[in-house]
Amino acid sequence: MSSLKPIEIVAELDKYIIGQDRAKRSVAIALRNRWRRQQVPEDLRDEIAPKNIILIGPTGVGKTEIARRLARLTDSPFNKVEASKFTEVGYVGRDVESMIRDLLELTVNMVKSREHEAVRERSSEAAEERMLDILLPKPEVTKPQAPEALHEVQLETAALPGRERSGTREKLRRMLREGKLDDRFVDLDVSERSMPMVEIFSNVGLEEMGINFKDMFGSLLPKNTKRRKIKVPEAMKIMAQEEAQNLVDMENVVRVAIEKVEQSGIIFLDEIDKIVGAEGRQGADVSREGVQRDLLPIVEGTTVTTKYGPVKTDHILFIASGAFHTSKPSDLIPELQGRFPIRVELDSLGRREFIRILTEPRNALLIQYMALLRTEGIQVVFEDDAVARIASIAEEVNMLTENIGARRLHTIMECLLEDILFDAPDRMEKCTVIDGNYVDEKLMRIKENEDLSRYIL
């Protein structure tokens, strides 16, 4: 997927995001440049830095969705962080390096789950053999509390020589696969690791201390096992997980995860305008200019220490976004501005875009509500005039109150369908047609009352 042409990337984004063609083109070019970088000679490859992007526009116009869909499209490690949550190193709060640690943690879990999926068949086979070892008694032991069919097999087994016991094992295997033993309880040793309670009073977070106490104590303390009575299906799941853990090479998982983060990681820095210094303020602000100074080396390219090893940030793609209502990108410190060479201003959404958002994308809002109500056996049909009225009301409420973009559609749809969603399980009428008059009846009173619409819509 990383070798998609820019026009193909835009076409994929068009399936989920309406409009914002300039932003789509910019991220498509940035993504294609990653593929191009992999094709250049190796001595030049490390010199080509990613072209980071700032998306400028009000909330609800698709900034986050563009970055998230881009990451899914290319199977890239993705982490969304809010710049306003960080503080300068040395102060109470999260430091900016934590976003790299979080990105790597997410990627390790992603790679590990895929490795587990790859060895699922082998781990299931190993778990089945372990279960048969538990179910098949030794010659001198019988289990009178077992189900009748199994008890008969066990009684037969007790008197059989070793060769014939294998045939009995196959009988048990068939019974296990057919689900005839699902009500049977087995005794299983389940590992439990109790963690000590540790409280640390410090103005420096645990991340900055560079120590992962969970892992440290986990390796020092012995594993405690507790014998539990568990039904066969649950025991099979537990044993399959244990076998998968043994089959997966965690060193290789970590190596692959670090490489994916370094070469194809994407970090979405939301609310970057919130860390712009306030006008007229004297001195540095630990949650504004201080964060910008700490962010600069990571965006430029540095090495961040994590519990899995060092991670280089030189080729991670940073996509920043902000409304920039009271500030502008040029208010960022000059060094940081230079690290975001691409600036794209996203368009505000109006009635025409709202109509398309409601109907065109694969995950369109109307499709979501129709699918939800279909689970209750309710068929909902939206007439064209109803869709137009919903879009018009969303546009008007955005103009009268706060412009929250396409998110306004969610609040309006919830208010519009509240009665149907509440009565759906007991509703006798299985087909409901929503037209323009129905929308006006439900929403006009609220829309016309400006004070009321501020709280409801």
pLDDT at 296 over 70: yes
Place of tokens 């299985």: 430
Residue 189 CA to residue 225 CA, distance in Å, equals 6
Q: Return the pLDDT at 134.
A: 82
Q: 123: which residues sit within 8 A by CB, 6+ positions away? A: 116, 240, 241, 243, 244, 247
Give per-residue pLDDT as tens, 217-270: 555 555 667 777 888 888 888 888 888 888 888 899 999 999 999 988 999 988
Greatest mean pLDDT among 46-60, 278-292, 305-319, 431-445 lies in: 305-319
Residue 2 has pLDDT above 80, yes or no: no
pLDDT digits (tens, 9 = 90+) for 187-203: 887 776 554 544 444 44
Name the residue type at position 344: V
- pLDDT of the residue at 192: 63
365-399: pLDDT as tens digits: 999 999 999 999 899 999 999 999 999 998 888 88
What pLDDT does 103 receive? 92
Q: Which CATH architecture has domain 6-113+256-345?
A: 3-Layer(aba) Sandwich (3.40)
* Burial per residue of 292-306, b for 16 or more beta-carbon CB atoms within 10 angstroms, e otherwise: bbbbbebbeeeebeb
**pLDDT (tens digit per residue) in 334-350:** 888 888 988 888 888 88
Q: Residue 92: is its pLDDT beyond 80?
A: no
Q: Cα(74)–Cα(149) distance, rounded to whole angstroms?
A: 52
Over the chain, what is the mean pLDDT? Answer: 80
User: Among 131-135, 208-212, 342-346, 362-366, where is mean pLDDT lowest?
Assistant: 208-212
* Helix, strand, or coil (residue 164): helix
Mean pLDDT of 155-168: 54
Q: Are 452 and 446 in contact (CB under 8 A)?
A: yes
What is the C-alpha separation between 302 and 393, in angstroms, rounded? 49
Q: How far apart are CA 32 and CA 28, in angstroms?
A: 6
Integer Cα distance of 104 and 294 in angstroms:
19
306/322 Cα distance (integer angstroms): 29
What residues pair up with 381 in beta bridges, in sequence order? 433
Fold of 351-450: Helicase, Ruva Protein; domain 3 (1.10.8)
**pLDDT of 216:** 55
More confident site: 206 or 57: 57
d(CA 162, CA 155): 15
Split at pLDDT 50, 70, 90, the class of 151 is low
SS3 content of the chain, % helix, strand, coil (to 5): 55, 15, 30
Has residue 88 got a pLDDT over 80?
no
Q: Is 332 exposed, middle or buried (0-12, 13-18, 19+ CB in 10 A)?
A: buried
pLDDT at 160 over 50: no
CB-CB contact of 409 with 365 (8 Å): yes
The domains of the chain are located at 6-113+256-345, 120-247, 351-450
pLDDT of residue 451: 61
Given this model, what pLDDT does residue 354 score?
92
Whole-number percent of the chain with pLDDT over 70: 79
